[in-house]
């Protein structure tokens, strides 16, 4: 059985063990490739593992023997599920592997936005404390988060994990979710109220037709001028030109983003270079612990499929 593992370079810096996959069959590993090279790589494969590769109709047509796609991720909007189902291809993702990691980065963003520690560190190493006439200096805003309102858009596993951490730090937590649920310490509100009340607004929803550009000119206009936006979900949940305008005009105080609409970041990204916008390169999922869980479950998905009992199937009509 031919097994193809794509985008290996997106999963490891040499610190991950792929050896269990070698027991699945004749395995070929590739780093990120595109175009005809990609089509040739998957041409005879029966099992293919991907991360962000767009598995569209054209690529399915090049994959005549394909039976299984294993996604090294939770999101699966990069796979044409209708086409997969039509061709009898089982598609499996890895849910919940990065919950703790994403929640951790979200809280890190909150603390950074409140304290400006990176600016203080840069200032100190730049010699400003040596030059100071007083024992302490504080040119950058440093605010307490206790008592502040955290708004959570999307109350799934990650949203709930963030809520628990925020509550432990003394924050008031409100949330908007399309699927109402009771979470201790969390008050559910309508979407407009979420934007109006939040001191920190963090996004934890999938990207789909209902959530695309949730942050837009209108919703930004509802926010406090002292408020911050945090996004560790999908870049497309934000209308980036609208956010850039709000940041430049100081309609909101700032933003911290781990994801963008186009990744890797493009030179013409409207958020690039803004002094009140923190941007990290989609790292929330990349803790060593999370990546080990990711590989483990992705491998188990393939084994379960080969044993006739597939798990974590996302095209459920198969």
- At 193, list the tokens: 């109220």
Exposure pattern of 30-55 as b/e (b: 16+ CB <10 Å)?
Answer: beebeeeebeebbeebbbbbbbebeb
Which residues, 6 or more positions from 266, have their beta carbon under 8 angstroms from its beta carbon? none
The residue behind tokens 């991950």 is: 16
From the candidates 172, 282, 291, 293, which is the catalytic residue?
A: 282
The number of residues making up the chain comes to: 318
- At 102, list the tokens: 């994403």
Annotation marks residue 190 as catalytic: no
Using a 10 angstrom Cβ sphere, with 0-12 exposed, 13-18 middle and 19 or more buried, the burial of residue 295 is buried
Exposure pattern of 153-164 as b/e (b: 16+ CB <10 Å)?
Answer: bbbbbbbbbbbe
Q: What is the 3-state secondary structure (H, E, C) of 158-199?
A: HHHHHHHHHHHCCCEEEEECCCCCCCCCEEECCHHHHHHHCC
- At 10, list the tokens: 């997106």
Q: 3-state DSSP call for residue 221?
A: helix
Handedness of CA 35, 36, 39, 40 (dihedral sign): negative
Annotation marks residue 234 as catalytic: yes
Structural contact between residues 155 and 177, judged by C-beta atoms closer than 8 angstroms: yes
Give alpha helix (H) positions in the chain. Answer: 35-42, 57-62, 81-86, 99-115, 117-125, 128-131, 157-168, 191-197, 217-221, 240-248, 288-306
Q: How does DSSP assign 245-269, residue by residue?
A: HHHHTTSSSEEEES--SSSSPPTT-
From the candidates 234, 240, 291, 293, which is the catalytic residue?
A: 234
From the candidates 58, 263, 288, 289, which is the catalytic residue?
A: 263
Annotation marks residue 282 as catalytic: yes
Residues tagged active-site: 234, 263, 282
């Amino acid at each position: 059985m031919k097994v193809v593992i794509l985008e290996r370079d997106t999963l490891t810096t040499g610190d991950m063990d792929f050896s269990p996959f070698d027991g699945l069959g004749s395995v070929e590993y590739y780093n990120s490739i595109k175009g005809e090279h990609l089509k040739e790589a998957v041409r005879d494969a029966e099992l293919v593992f991907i991360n962000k590769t767009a598995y569209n109709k054209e690529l399915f047509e090049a994959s005549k023997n394909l039976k299984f796609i294993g996604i090294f991720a939770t999101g699966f909007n990069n796979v044409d599920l209708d086409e997969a189902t039509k061709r009898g291809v089982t598609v499996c993702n890895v849910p919940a592997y990065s919950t703790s990691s994403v929640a951790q980065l979200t809280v890190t963003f909150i603390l950074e936005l409140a304290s400006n520690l990176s600016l203080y560190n840069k200032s100190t190493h730049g010699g400003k404390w040596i030059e100071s006439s007083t024992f302490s200096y504080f040119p950058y805003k440093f605010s307490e988060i206790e008592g502040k309102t955290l708004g959570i858009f999307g109350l799934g596993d990650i949203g709930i994990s963030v809520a628990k951490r925020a509550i432990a730090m003394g924050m008031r937590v409100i949330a908007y979710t399309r699927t109402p649920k009771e979470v201790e310490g969390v008050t559910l509100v309508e979407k407009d109220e979420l934007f109006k009340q939040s001191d920190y607004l963090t996004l934890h929803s999938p990207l789909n037709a209902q959530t695309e550009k949730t942050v837009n000119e209108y919703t930004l206009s509802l926010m406090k001028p002292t408020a911050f936006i945090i996004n560790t979900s999908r870049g497309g949940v934000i209308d980036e030109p609208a956010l850039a305008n709000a940041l430049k005009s100081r309609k909101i105080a700032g933003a911290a983003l781990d994801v963008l609409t186009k990744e890797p970041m493009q030179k013409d990204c409207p958020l690039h270079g803004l002094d009140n916008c923190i941007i990290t390169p989609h790292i929330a999922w990349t803790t060593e612990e999370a990546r080990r869980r990711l590989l483990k479950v992705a491998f188990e998905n393939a084994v379960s499929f080969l044993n006739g009992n597939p798990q974590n199937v996302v095209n459920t009509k198969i």
